[in-house]
Amino acid sequence: MNQLELLRKFTTIVADTSDIDSIRKYKPEDATTNPSLILKAVNSNINQKLLIKAIEYAKKKGGSKAEQLINASDKILVDLGIKILKYIPGYISSEVDARLSFNTEKCILKAKKIIKMYEEQGISRNRVLIKLAATWECIKAAEELKKDKIFCNLTLLFSFAQARACAESKVFLISPFVGRIYDWYIDQNLISQFSYDKDPGVISVCKIYNFYKKHNYKTIIMGASFRNIHQILLLSGCDRLTISPLLLKELESNNTVFDRKLIPPSTYITPPNPLSEEEFRWEHNQDEMSVQKLSEGIRNFSKDQLLLEKIILKLM
């Protein structure tokens, strides 16, 4: 039994890719996309039809050039999601424009629009997770959307305050970013590259896992953004792990046996009172790494969205 097969016994495997060949090969339960992966997919010759179809859709819908651009971008997101859903039994995570990350109402409207577009093509909302950055505004959007049975994946999660607020708002799923936390500590020369037992990204997810399970929160924890298989194996037992094809391949080619690391407790204790908005912002602000990485992540996803829009504009 290779490590990927063994890992499946402890954790639900999710593919962190929009590449259909990789998804078919590794047979994950779910798949996740983000603006960077969408941009990569659109730049592939295989997906040029998606681009043309999206532009035709936008022109048919009409409206101003700006409205057509938004509609074409949303169409690409949905159509790529539908394409991926043919090869997985579970969820596709589709990410809302990062530029909306500080506006609760706009995130709600965008999420409902995306879900409607999926449903118009016969895809149930039960198979789609709307990805939102884990800002206070997006956490509150996810809380509202759940009332309409629209479930969310809160991404770009770095701080314990973000994780706690998500659980207290009954968010469906969170994606703590292991590798990006690790990157920050490496860049700051605070850890060595091979300090696997002191990896701050792994430690962060372990802390979230223990807090959630101890208090019996139902929010799913999906570790994300891995830099090596050591991070993955140290989180075996986490509810879900979203893994790139490169690391899935490495796990598949390795037969070294490992033990499950994360195990839920058998008893629970009463959770603390929920964080207020003021408490959330203060606690998150106390974590320099999390403040920097959340802001950076939103900016970079926004840049990739703009690059996608430039590609669309050239063809409109």
| Catalytic residue numbers, as ranges | 131
Q: Which of 303, 232, 200 has its CA nearest to residue 13?
A: 232
Q: Which residues contact 309 (CB under 8 A, 6 or more apart)?
A: 69, 73
CA atoms within 13 A on the CB side of 137: 12
Q: Which residues contact 97 (CB under 8 A, 6 or more apart)?
A: 73, 110, 302, 305
Q: Which of 22, 288, 279, 273 has its CA nearest to residue 158?
A: 288
CA atoms within 13 A on the CB side of 199: 25
Q: Output helix, strand, coil percentages for the chain, rounded to the nearest 5.
A: 55, 10, 30
Q: Which of 246, 82, 220 has its CA nearest to residue 151?
A: 220
Q: How far is it, in rounded angstroms, from Cα 188 to Cα 228?
A: 19
Report which secondary-structure segment, H or E, holds 128: strand 128-133
Residue 148 token pair: 């309409």
